[in-house]
Amino acid sequence: MPDAEQLMTSLGTVVVAAPAVLVAVLGLPALLGTRLTEATTMRAVRSAVATGLLACIAVLAVMPFAAGRPAVVDLGEWVALRPAGAGHEHYHFAVEFEFDLLSVALALLSFLLCGTIGVFAARYLHRETGFNRFFILFALFLFGMVTASLADTIETLFVGWEFVGLSSALLVAFFHERPAPPRNGLRVWIVYRISDAALLLGAVVLHDMVGEGDFDRIMGGAQWPHGRTTLTESQSTALGLLLLFAAAGKSALVPFSGWLPRAMEGPTPSSAVFYGALSVHLGAFLLLRMNPLIAASVWLAVAIIAMGLITALYASLVVTVQTDIKSALSFASLAQVGLIVAEIGIGHWLPVMWYVALLHLIGHACLRTLQFIRAPTLLQDYRVLENAIGDRLPLPPGVLRFAPTSARTWLYRFALERGYLDAILTDYVARPFVRAFEWCGRLERRWAESLNNENTGSSTDSQTTRDDLKP
């Protein structure tokens, strides 16, 4: 009988390889200009997801026999540089995947929900012109999720994080014959890029502090969530705040919440699995993975709780006035994500809350996926019922009805404007940025014209307000 750890390593390799193979199988024909049939695409998706899922379940089954140590699948050093001379630091990029309770749970969830949504999308997008494009992006997303979930180094996590971000933004822009989806896709991408920058900076700061990006160095070699970091409190706070910023962008926490309803422009299957279930929880997962930092820094814990609670409160308020089902579900989802983040922060005092947060995350992701894919038929059912009774279905009173009269109007406006978050980012960040650099552009054109001794008046051609960054 093979050794339990060896078996876990072999199974782990299958888990990681399955989505990568799917990307190659669906992506290479597209690059070569060949179009796979819907049946072939679905066969590939089903095989890859089933293989990954079964291997993941097998890892979970073998875990209790692995002497309490997490299995590490080491695919070697992707890049390793050593300067001449002894005593110098070296740079390496290790591709390592760790299978512990947290990572296996999220990987399992990713395979399960992606499998479900894959089958759903095959019918939902049947004969859609972008069928193959959807599943290529779907494969990239699955690859990114599994890579990020199982990453044993922050660099590997960053790779997965980037793939999730790109595929999500391109899926928001999936229906590209209308201007609204690409415009919203760009918004999502901008927020993701900013959060990616914070994660990259966090990865480098971690490298700087502990010499490498292995999570083991933060966890102290212990099983999740019992790790204890060797970093000082101030180091933990600084690094933790960078990662909290990254998590806020990815999980749409306040002040980045504006992108979540915009992401609903994508097809329903992608809204369900990405923004309702998996992608939106990736920030919370990052915080769970970095729980030793939270344990070491009370200020970080307080910041996380504050951000989580503010987000939950904001989303609970805004959801009450949403008039389309996908936006309502997205804000309901955000309220739960806020609570999950707050639970993670409370883990500083009550470590059991990290288990609670993980269970909350898994349960919420499953429930929300179901709600999203049920949404189109639910609307149809409502219509049938309303036709049968000849009137609108009665609606339960919203929480704002119980607000004091003096504040009610303001609260309604706040909720209808979605907390003005988008407007604030547009008016005070995006627009000044665009105007400042357009002004520089005009100045440069004028300067070039004077140096060229020409007078074409082209410097005025960019004076009109840009609209692609507008909401």
Partner 1 sequence: MNLFAIRWLELSFVLPLAGAACMTLFTDARRKSRWCLTFAGATLACTAIVSLAYYSGHPTAAALWNTSGRRVLNVDEINAPLLPLVALLFFLTALTTARTKFARFPCAGQLIRETVLLAAFACTLPGPLVALLAIDAFMPLLELRRRGQPLRLQVIHAAFFVLLMFAGWVVSSGMGFSRFGSLFYLAGIMVRTGVFPAHIGVTNMFVHTSFGTALLFATPLAGVYATARLVLPIAPAWALSLLGIVALATALYAACMGAVERDVRRYFAYLIVSHASLVLVGFGLHTPFAVTGALIMWASAALALTGLGLTLRSLESRFGSLKLDEFRGLYDQSPALAICFLMTGLATIGFPGTPGFVAVELLVDEAVGAHVAVGLFVVLTAAINGIGVVRAYLLLFTGRRHVTGVALGITPRESIAVWAMTALILFGGLMPYAYVESRHRSALNILRDRDTNLNTSVVTPEHQPH
Which residue ranges make up the site for partner 1 (CB under 8 A)? 30-33, 78-79, 81, 83-84, 88, 91, 93, 155, 158-159, 162-163, 166, 169, 173, 176-179, 181-183, 185-186, 189-190, 193-194, 196-197, 200-201, 204-205, 207-208, 433-434, 437-438, 440-441, 444, 447-448, 451-454, 461-462, 466, 468
Q: Which distant-in-sequence residues (6+ apart) come within 8 Å of 469 by Cβ? A: 186, 187, 426, 430, 431, 434
Task: Give least dist CB 61 to partner 1, A.
Answer: 31
Q: Tell me whether residue 183 or residue 250 sits nearer to partner 1 (CB atom).
A: 183
Task: Give least dist CB 389 to partner 1, A.
Answer: 41
Dist CA 357 CA 340 (whole Å): 5
Dist CA 318 CA 419 (whole Å): 7
Task: Give least dist CB 81 to partner 1, A.
Answer: 5
Contact 320, 398 (CB under 8 A): yes
Task: Give least dist CB 293 to partner 1, A.
Answer: 18
Q: Tell me whether residue 187 or residue 360 sits nearer to partner 1 (CB atom).
A: 187
391 phi and psi angles, rounded to 5 deg:
-155, 170
Q: Tell me whether residue 46 or residue 442 sits nearer to partner 1 (CB atom).
A: 442
Start-to-end C-alpha separation, the chain: 60
Eight-class DSSP state of 392: P
Token pair 């980037």 is found at: 162
Which tokens go with 345? 């922060």
Other CB atoms within 10 A of residue 371 CB: 18
Q: Tell me whether residue 70 or residue 165 sits nearer to partner 1 (CB atom).
A: 165
Task: Give least dist CB 144 to partner 1, A.
Answer: 9
Dist CA 341 CA 312 (whole Å): 9
Of 6, 21, 211, nearest to 99 (Cα)? 6
Which tokens go with 131? 């069928």
Q: Tell me whether residue 19 or residue 70 sits nearer to partner 1 (CB atom).
A: 19
Q: Tell me whether residue 231 or residue 357 sits nearer to partner 1 (CB atom).
A: 231
Task: Give least dist CB 469 to partner 1, A.
Answer: 8
Of 284, 286, 358, nearest to 108 (Cα)? 358
Task: Give least dist CB 163 to partner 1, A.
Answer: 7
Q: Tell me whether residue 374 or residue 446 sits nearer to partner 1 (CB atom).
A: 446
Contact 186, 166 (CB under 8 A): no
